Structures are given as C-alpha cells and as structure tokens.
C-alpha cells in the first residue's frame, strides 16, 4: 500500500533509533554472531525484589484506575520528591503515565510552544516535536564544557523573540553524555528560564543514578515553572514496566489538567498492578538505599575505566557523572576512517557492528551533525544481578577495582577493547 495518506509529520520518520539498533542486534545474534549490546539504554540491574513481590501480590488488580494515577502512588511519589529534593509538594501535583516518554509527548501536544533542546539530546524529544508539528530549536554545546548547555546560549536564543512560548528540556544526569550540572549552573539556568517564562521540563529520570548520589533538582531554583519528569525505568531497572511520573507546581495545574484530558481519551490510565507495585519503590527505605549505593558504585567504576581507556587512544569523551552512557567523538580518526569510506557517524556504527559485533548508536540520532563522527555507548551489557551481589560483598568505603570489572562486567570491557582494537587497526 502506498503511504500517501500518512500524516505529513510522520511520513518518512524512522522508528526510534534505540529500538532499531536492538532489532538489528537481535537479528545478528539469531545468525549466530556474538553481539555486544551497547546501543539500547536499558538498566542492567534487576527490579528490586520488594517491588517484584508487590507486583505479584497485586496481579489481581483489574480495575481501571483514575486517569491521573492511583492516589496512594501519587502520594508516594510526592513524598519521595519531598524527601529526596526537599520540595514542598502533595499527591495532587503528580501525574502518573505509562512511561515518562508518553507524558512528554502529551505535554508537547497540549502546550503550544517551541521545543528547545541541547545537542546532543535523548533520541525522542525531537521526533515527538516533529510528529506534533512543533518547532525545534537546538542549543549548541561543546566538548570543552562537557556537552552541557549554558545559560548564555539559552539567553541568546530567547533574546531573539522574548515572548515566544517555549519548553526547554534539561536532562541530567544526561543521556547521551552522563553529564550533570553544578548548583551554581542550575541557578543560572533557572534564572534565564524564569526571566523568559519558559516551561522547564527537567528530565531527571537518571537522578538516582548520579554516581555519587548527589543529584539536585533545578526545581529548587524555579519551582513555579518546572515540571520534574521521572519514573521507574532507569533507577529501578523497570523500563519494560512502563511507569513514568510528572511533578507539577500548583502554577502549572492547567497543564496537568490538559494532559489528563488527553490521557483520558487515549491510554485511559496506567496499568493497575504496576502502579500498586510502584508505591513500594517510591516509599524507599534501607533495601533501596543499598541497591542504589551498589548500582552507582558499579556504574561509576565502569564509566571511569572506559573513559580512561578511550581517552588514552585519542577519543574525546567527557567522564560521566551519572547514568550509564558515554558520548564519544572520533574526530582524531577522521582521515583514517575516510580512507575506509566512513564519512558519517551512521557509516561508522554500521561498520563497527559488522566488523566487531559491537552495537552503539550514531551521534546523528542525538541531534549531532552526521559528519561529526560521534556516537553514544551505553555501558550496560553485563549481568547486573550478579554484579550487585558481588558488590555487596565488598566494603562500602572501597571503590571497585579493575579485577571486579573484568570479572563481572567483562562483556562491556571486551566490547570496549574491540572498539579500541578496531580503531587502532584503522591507523
């Protein structure tokens, strides 16, 4: 069938890049190839057992729940933000959805304004804006500033048309770079957002995976205009459960309510058993503190080791401060790659997958120029359950040594060595 009746905003759009690489990797695996999956950004860690138990206990929950979410869960999420961030909030401020991705889409749908995002940015913000028909404005970043957006760049953009409605997305710890912001930087960004009355969508889905557990929400400095986005997918290892949360200030209830209207006419409500189980996750407690301590310690150690190895062979890559990503720049190998017919980040990632079985994502899907030869590596191809158990046996004051990583995260380490060897072969 020809696609002539497709909505113009959707025509020609490919499926989300992270899902495509996953399918491609699966296909190669089925063909008997060894594939290292550093493409899809999925937590390597298991869902904490108390949350799994709660899901089992609530399998019988069959009724549709209120569109904004289960009241106990909304309350638990508000308490969590209050505890974690010192934000004064209540269950009324919370909207539960089937993944924060869906909530972001609905936000863009109901709010008429430009979408302002840094480059690089997570793969789905821009396609969502395209589907809805919003303007996208990219904010440049550079390696010297570890790919973080500056208040000056936001100011420069807003000055051109001060009264234009805008949503700016600030995502930290960041996908794809692992970067985060210092307090002073958050204050300055918040001040510009306030000056231009921008809606600040603070995507803090990796907040709990700040490698030192020191995440601070920008909402502290611009509460009236900030929506905090979060969920179970990353810190709780439950991406497939599909549960996301938005926290609104009272001044933005009109947005929350408009989103609830769309939710009521589309997905109705988030899955009931998942919501009951999520209450346990947001209640927190010792089990979760331990789980997060070990998750962070493992991620910090891998991030550090991989960064060192890559920098040593001339790849430009900022050391991650949170989450499980590295954003690599291969410019130093540009001439050698050109000699091999590789002229774009897509060429590079395809060739790397074919030659070594290592799957990573091209920088172009994060809003970088194709010719830049950049890519995102998700350092998650290891058995998180095994690694957590092993980390629990090592005293808390110690950091994890290379021996630990070679034993418990060997697939990721091997994949990195394959990348390094492949690049050395280019020279």
Q: How far is the CB of 85 from ligand PLP (least distance, A)?
A: 18
Listed in sequence order, the DSSP H helices in 250-383 are 253-265, 272-283, 286-312, 334-339, 345-356
Q: Which is nearer to ligand PLP, 100 or 345 (CB)?
A: 100
Closest CA to 382 of 362, 358, 411: 411
Q: How far is the CB of 242 from ligand PLP (least distance, A)?
A: 7
Residue 78 CB, shortest distance to ligand PLP, in Å, is 18
Site for ligand PLP, rule CB under 6 A: 41, 99-101, 122, 171, 175, 203, 205, 231, 233, 239, 244
Q: Which is nearer to ligand PLP, 97 or 223 (CB)?
A: 97
Find out whether 272 and 67 touch, Cβ atoms under 8 Å. Answer: no
Does residue 73 contact residue 79 with C-beta atoms inside 8 Å?
Answer: no
Distance (Å, whole) CA 85 – CA 251: 19
* Shortest spacing between CB 404 and ligand PLP, in angstroms: 26
- C-alpha–C-alpha distance, residues 104 and 102, integer Å: 5
Residue 49: is it exposed, middle or buried by C-beta count within 10 angstroms (0-12/13-18/19+)?
Answer: exposed
Provide, rounded to whole angstroms, the least separation between the CB of residue 175 and ligand PLP. Answer: 4
253 is written with which tokens?
Answer: 């209830």
Residue among 102 and 347 whose Cβ is closer to ligand PLP: 102
Q: How far is the CB of 176 from ligand PLP (least distance, A)?
A: 8
Nearer to ligand PLP, 85 or 347 (CB): 85
* Closest residue to ligand PLP: CB criterion: 99
Q: Counting runs of H as helices and runs of E as strands, what totals does the chain give?
A: 15, 12
Rounded to whole angstroms, the Cα distance separating 174 from 374 reads 16
Nearer to ligand PLP, 236 or 349 (CB): 236
Give whichever of 122 and 408 is closer to ligand PLP, judged by the CB atom: 122
Q: How far apart are CA 242 and CA 365, in angstroms?
A: 23
């Amino acid at each position: 069938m020809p696609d002539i009746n497709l909505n113009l905003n959707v025509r020609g759009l490919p499926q989300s890049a992270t899902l495509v690489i996953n399918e491609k990797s699966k296909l190669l695996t089925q063909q008997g190839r060894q594939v290292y999956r550093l493409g899809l950004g999925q937590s390597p860690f298991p869902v904490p057992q108390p949350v799994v138990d709660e899901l089992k206990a609530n399998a019988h929950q069959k009724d549709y729940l209120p569109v904004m979410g289960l009241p106990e869960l909304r309350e638990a999420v508000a308490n969590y933000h209050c505890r974690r961030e010192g934000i004064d909030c209540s269950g009324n401020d919370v909207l539960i959805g089937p993944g924060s991705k869906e909530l972001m889409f609905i936000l863009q749908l109901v709010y008429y304004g430009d979408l302002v995002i840094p480059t690089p940015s997570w793969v789905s913000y821009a396609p969502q804006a395209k589907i809805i028909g919003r303007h996208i404005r990219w904010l440049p970043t550079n390696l010297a500033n570890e790919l973080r957006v500056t208040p000056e760049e936001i100011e420069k953009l807003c000055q051109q048309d001060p009264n234009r409605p805008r949503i700016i997305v600030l995502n930290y710890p960041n996908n794809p770079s692992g970067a985060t912001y210092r307090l002073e930087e958050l204050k300055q960004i918040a001040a510009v957002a306030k000056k231009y009355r921008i809606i600040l969508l603070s995507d803090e889905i990796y907040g709990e995976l700040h490698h030192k557990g020191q995440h601070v929400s920008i909402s502290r400095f611009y509460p009236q205009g900030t929506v905090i986005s979060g969920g179970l997918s990353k810190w709780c290892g439950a991406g497939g459960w599909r549960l996301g949360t938005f926290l609104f200030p009272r001044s933005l209830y009109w947005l929350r309510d408009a989103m609830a209207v769309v939710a009521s006419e589309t997905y109705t409500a988030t899955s009931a058993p998942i919501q009951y189980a999520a209450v346990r996750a947001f209640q927190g407690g010792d089990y979760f503190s331990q789980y997060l301590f070990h998750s962070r310690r493992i991620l910090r150690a891998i991030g550090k080791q991989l960064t060192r190895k890559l920098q040593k062979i001339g790849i430009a890559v900022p050391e991650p401060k949170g989450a499980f990503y590295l954003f690599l720049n291969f410019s130093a190998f540009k001439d050698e790659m050109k000699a091999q017919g590789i002229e774009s980040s897509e060429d590079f990632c395809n060739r790397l997958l074919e030659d070594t079985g290592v799957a990573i994502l091209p920088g172009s899907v994060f809003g970088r120029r194709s010719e830049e030869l950049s890519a995102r590596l998700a350092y998650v191809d290891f058995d998180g359950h095994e690694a957590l158990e092993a980390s629990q046996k090592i005293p808390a004051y110690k950091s994890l040594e290379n021996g630990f990583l070679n034993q418990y995260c060997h697939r990721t380490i091997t994949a990195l060595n394959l990348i390094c060897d492949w690049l050395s072969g280019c020279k």
